[in-house]
Amino acid sequence: MMVWDREEKVLTTIGGRLEQNETIEDGLDREVMEEAGIELTEIRVPFASWFWKESNGYTIYFLTLVKRICEIPKGYEKTGYVIMNFETALDMIKNIEGREERIEIIRRAGILSGNLKDEGNSR
């Protein structure tokens, strides 16, 4: 599942920054509700991370399972979600924006979930 960012006009992964004293798990739950209106199961597999020198912080990517889909809260920066398989997600990202790091994250998630074959480094 990915979400549409109304300001950047881009299909993006769900996520954001942790609030003060917030755990990674709590932040993940908050962000997925705010951006996509979903609740997650307890299955959460961290599979990639990036360090951002500009903000002196990390982005951690999780492969998760959706427990249920709720109504997206009004007033947030994302306007809706798109449910698709991994191959479609990769095609959409390549055609809409082409960001290699997002393509790599989705590819890794697809391999980890067993929905894509590992065909070596795609770069």
**What dihedral angle (degrees, nearest 10) is formed by the CA atoms of 27, 60, 36, 2?**
180
**Sequence-distant (≥ 6) Cβ neighbours of residue 10 within 8 angstroms:** 4, 96, 97
Yes or no: say if 111 and 88 are a contact pair by the CB < 8 Å rule.
no
pTM: 0.79
Q: Is 103 exposed, middle or buried (0-12, 13-18, 19+ CB in 10 A)?
A: middle
Q: What is the pLDDT of residue 5?
A: 80
Q: Which fold has domain 2-113?
A: Nucleoside Triphosphate Pyrophosphohydrolase (3.90.79)
68 strand-pairing partners? 39
Per domain, the residue ranges of the chain are 2-113
Task: List the pLDDT tens digit at each of the 123 positions of the chain.
Answer: 888 887 887 788 888 889 999 999 999 999 998 888 899 999 999 999 988 899 898 899 999 999 999 877 677 667 778 889 999 999 988 888 778 888 999 999 999 999 999 876 555
